[in-house]
Amino acid sequence: MPAEIRDRMENVLLTVRKRPTREMLEEMRHPRDEPLLGLYWGASLPEQSFFSPPPLHPDTIYVFQEPLEEMCESIEELEREIEITVVHEVAHFLGIDEGRLEELGYG
């Protein structure tokens, strides 16, 4: 990851969970029949302001282990999907939307 992006993410946690919680799925309005591989939970950089109060919880990138493992047939494929998932969620932190991510091949 480029240093200029990494430096901006010093207050963003990266954590692995087995699966998303029901609350996460409901908040995201994610279709139940589609696996959720990752999630950025927080305010994107464009939404953040010097004048905003500090958040109660740190911004967090979640990577969901079991859905990723279930969709991959090899360790190499799993490693690639984890990389794509993390890049996808970092992009949300940077303020890049789903449409642009699709264009970039990270949808």
At residue 16's C-alpha, the angle toward residues 46 and 52, to 5°, is: 25
Whether residue 5 has pLDDT greater than 90:
no
Residues 67 and 25 sit within 8 Å (Cβ to Cβ): no
pLDDT digits (tens, 9 = 90+) for 61-93: 999 999 999 999 999 999 999 999 999 999 999
H or E stretch including 22? Answer: helix 22-28
Q: In 3-state terms, what secondary structure has residue 38?
A: strand
Whether residue 54 has pLDDT greater than 80:
no
Instruction: Return the pLDDT at 4.
Output: 77
Distance from C-alpha of 5 to C-alpha of 57, rounded to nearest angstrom: 21
CATH number of the domain located at residue range(s) 3-104 in this protein? 3.30.2010.20
Whether residue 98 has pLDDT greater than 90:
no
pLDDT digits (tens, 9 = 90+) for 12-29: 999 999 999 988 988 888
Residues 63 and 82 sit within 8 Å (Cβ to Cβ): yes
